[in-house]
Amino acid sequence: MKLLLAAILLALFALASNVAAQNIDIIDSSVNVTTSSTTILAAPAYQPRLIYVQNDSDTVIYCNLRGNAAVLNAGTRLNANGGFFFFDAPGTVPRTAITCIHGGTGNKLVLINVGQ
């Protein structure tokens, strides 16, 4: 029994050591969000492996993750001064356009990272 367990552990170790680390190319950008619905990320032609969006402004921003127009006080809220959302689990990363809006004045910056 011990010999069988040792053989299984040795096989698992060999399998794990052959798995190469996967590199992810990150594309970073920034977009000014306005008081009307603004597309911050167009629907990608491929399935992104991760999406990270951060609010770099002093105003709350609301985002729609389903490709529809963003609406104030609805959808995903990005708190002022660093609020963010992050998707990286398989099956959770949106494949639709992401739109955002704010209720303040002027332009408000969001930072975007997409991994492929």
84 pLDDT above the threshold of 50: yes
pLDDT band per the 50, 70, 90 thresholds, residue 53? very high
List of domains in the chain: 24-115 (2.60.120.770)
Three-class DSSP labels, the chain: CHHHHHHHHHHHHHHHHCCCCCCCCEEEEEEEECCCCEEEECCCCCCCCEEEEEECCCCCEEEECCCCCCCCCCCEEECCCCCEEEECCCCCCCCCCEEEEECCCCCEEEEEEEEC
Averaged pLDDT for residues 73-81: 97
- pTM of the full structure: 0.79
- The answer to whether the CB of 51 falls within 8 A of the CB of 100 is no
pLDDT tier, 74 (very low <50, low <70, confident <90, very high otherwise): very high
Q: Is the pLDDT of residue 8 over 70?
A: no
- The total of other beta-carbon atoms located within 10 Å of residue 70's CB is 23
